[in-house]
Amino acid sequence: MDRILVSACLMGEQVRYDGKAKPLAHPLLDRWRQEGRLVSLCPEMAAGLPVPRPPAEIAGSGGGASVLDGRATLVENTGRDVTAAFLLAAERALAVARQNDCRFALLIDGSPSCGSGEIYDGRFAGVKVAGQGVVAARLMRAGIAVFSHRDIEALAARLDAQP
Ligand code: SF4
């Protein structure tokens, strides 16, 4: 049975920068939870970041892949550079995925870590652009199929298509 790494905030855990959750109410998630498929993780907390914490965005172009390659940084709205913590979050997420044989991930979109379709543009102006967060980019690079929370049905279709 394929297991799925899931953003903890989607599972209702209050781990976001603002101390809140963003629970996803969906029958597929309920079913997978009952089947024991889900591995819940907040990568930022796994890297030691506190709750609450200042919001952070990727400064520079290219999203999470650029951060992985040292061409962009993660900066809090305070101006503090938190690139090292986000890179650690990505490595911790990959380690947990591998330990639990997760070949799939369901991550909340928009986050500088978990975003897989869009992220904020780095100006703290509430503007989103296409791109991936650092965790999503790291998992993708390792061959894990990453789906945003909006694409949960597409993930279900992929799971159903597994031999
Ligand atoms: Fe949610 Fe991911 Fe941010 Fe943790 S790092 S709060 S799981 S979006």
Q: What residue ranges line ligand 1, CB within 6 angstroms?
A: 7-9, 15-16, 42-44, 108, 111, 113-114
pTM over 0.75: yes
pLDDT at site 1: 84
Q: How far apart are CA 51 and CA 127, in angstroms?
A: 24
Confidence of residue 163 (pLDDT cuts 50, 70, 90): confident
Q: Where are the domains of the chain?
A: 3-161
CA of 16 to the centre of ligand 1 (A): 6
Over its C-alpha atoms, the chain yields an Rg (Å, rounded) of: 15
User: pLDDT digit string (tens) for 10-69?
Assistant: 999 999 999 999 999 999 999 999 999 999 999 999 999 999 999 999 999 999 999 999
Share of the chain above pLDDT 70, in %: 100
Q: What's the mean per-residue pLDDT of the chain?
A: 97
Reported as a single tens digit per residue, the pLDDT across 85-100 is 999 999 999 999 999 9
- What is the Cα–Cα distance from 42 to 92, expressed in whole angstroms? 10
Residues of the chain above pLDDT 90, percent: 98
- Residues 153/112, Cβ–Cβ less than 8 Å: no
User: Can you tell me whether residue 65 is helix, strand or coil?
Assistant: helix
Cα 44 to ligand 1 centroid, rounded to whole Å: 6
Task: Return the number of other C-beta atoms located less than 10 Å from residue 91's C-beta.
Answer: 15
Asked if the model's pLDDT at residue 124 lies above 80, the reply is yes
